[in-house]
Amino acid sequence: MKYYFRHAEKKLLQLARNFKAVLVLGARQVGKTTLLTKVFPNFKHIVFDPIQDIYGVREDPDLFLKNFPPPIILYEVQFVPELLPSLKRFLDKSNSKGQYFLTGSQNLSVLRSVSESMAGRIGIIPLSGLTTAETTNQGNKKVWLATYLKNPYSLLTKVGIAENLINLSKVIWRGSLPGLLDIEDEVVPDYLRSYINTYIERDVRLLENIQVLSTFGRFIALAAALTAQEININQLGREIGITPLTAKKWLALLNNTYQWLELFPYHNNSIKRLSSKRKGFFCDTGLACHLQRISSPEALACHPKLGAMFETWVINDIHKQFLYISVSPQTYHWRTSAGAEVDLVLEQDGKLYPIEIKCKTVLNKHDTRGIRAFRETYTKQKIMPGLIIYAGDKVYEVAEEVLAVPWNIIPLT
């Protein structure tokens, strides 16, 4: 399989120079193993199994570490939590940097163990699916979001279009998992079906005592159907016959295994009539389309869920770029009871960046009404020029302090 240069390569090397250990976290199949073996091809690596204790790590972790000295790559360490206290002791014996490289696909269990065992000793990289630039094999360039946060109007001259990402519905339908880049469309459903089955059987079964896994499978499909909507826990539970408490727990499980992300509502204490609900998004549009039984890019192109899937794709693409910004912004969504809304609000250095997402090829000033309403509501805040990310192919100023930006832009430098 062809390797696509990842933005995270630079970050990985940087952390390796400054920390004794580095932990790469992310959903299964997002490229954690490929990244580490590409950057450190000569390091020995060990893969831990959720069932079998092949190397006797759970029984005697100290002996394991003596038998397998660094530098070494240890995959899926959430399956051997007994290893981490021992690893802490081994790290404390040496001042050498870049000794151990770990991966994990379960946020909750890994981070709890790491925070208790190796605080200050380990650098953490959250890895997601491919960004637009990575898909075009330009992961060695800066992300466009960094350009926007530094100087919004520089987007008019410093970005281009990813020429191999023209078919919008096909890109959304296939998603961003690296393993899907070089396979035929006809095989994509088989890949995603296997992914879902493995995820439920290996990750979910180990994390939660779910009696009927088929019910959880229905829950995932429902979450995919509700992507890009405000979260109603009661509705989630009622639809498949589980309690709101169970629905909340299962949604947290999706979040902790990197299948789901949420945006908190933006509000000011002095402002009334604003939504207080979080907005939820499936983390990969390919998986979301598969769970909705959308059979092809052509079917998605005329599907009622196209707009929601487009918004989901854009939100995720922006979140993937946070790792490559020195201090990532805080994210929100904004909506009033009167219907005014902004899909994404970024906050950094006391500045607000409103972003709207429109699945259409032609924009007009009416499409800027959400950003205008946001500015009128927060007159005392420092609000930067906003964006409308749309399905067209030109960057231009659609209205005063509102830029239209194509969905498939990449930085030129």
CA distances from 291 to 217, 288, 403 (A): 9, 5, 34
DSSP 98: S
135: Cβ contacts below 8 Å, ≥ 6 apart: 4, 162, 164, 165, 176, 181
Task: Decide: helix, strand or coil at residue 202.
Answer: helix
pLDDT tens, residue by residue, 372-395: 999 999 999 999 999 999 999 999
Q: What is the mean pLDDT of the chain?
A: 90
More confidently predicted of 138 and 356: 356
pLDDT per residue over 37-58, tens digit each? 999 999 999 999 888 898 999 9
Q: Which amino acid is at 164?
A: N
Q: How far apart, in whole angstroms, are the C-alpha atoms of residue 389 and residue 156? A: 13
Percent of the chain predicted with pLDDT > 90: 67
Nearest to 369 by CA among 356, 360, 381, 378: 356
Q: Where are the alpha helices (DSSP H) in 175-303?
A: 188-198, 205-207, 213-225, 233-240, 244-256, 285-291, 297-301
Distance CA 403, CA 389 (A): 8
d(CA 351, CA 348): 5
Distance CA 356, CA 73 (A): 41
Domain annotation for the chain: domains and CATH numbers: 8-126 (3.40.50.300), 135-411 (no CATH)
pLDDT band at 116 (very low <50, low <70, confident <90, very high): low
pLDDT tens-digit map of 144-191: 999 999 999 999 998 888 877 789 999 999 999 999 988 999 999 999
Cα first-last separation, the chain = 27
Q: Which of 5-19, 73-87, 111-125, 130-144 has the lowest mean pLDDT?
A: 111-125
pLDDT exceeds cutoff 90 at 361: yes
Q: Per-residue pLDDT tens for 73-97?
A: 999 998 898 898 899 999 999 889 9
Cα distance between residue 327 and residue 62, in whole Å: 37
Structure tokens at 19: 């920390």
Say if CB 349 and CB 281 are below 8 A apart: no
Supply angle C-alpha 237, 240, 246, rounded to 5.
40
Token digits of residue 343: 């899909």
Indicate if the pLDDT at residue 270 is higher than 60.
Answer: no
**How far is residue 153 from each of residues 120, 325, 405, measured CA to CA in Å?**
39, 18, 11
pTM of the model: 0.93
Under DSSP, is residue 147 helix (H, G, I), strand (E, B) or coil?
Answer: helix
297 vs 205 pLDDT, higher one: 297
What band does 299 get if pLDDT is binned at 50, 70 and 90?
very high
Task: Using the predicted structure, report yes or no on whether residue 308 has a pLDDT greater than 80.
Answer: yes
> Which residues, at least 6 apart from 241, have a Cβ–Cβ distance to it below 8 Å?
215
* Mean pLDDT across 386-405: 96
Provide the Cα torsion 282, 285, 291, 297; round to 10°: 160
Q: From CA 282, how far away is CA 107, in angstroms rounded?
A: 16
d(Cα 141, Cα 139) in Å, to the nearest integer? Answer: 5
The DSSP bridge partners found for residue 147 are none
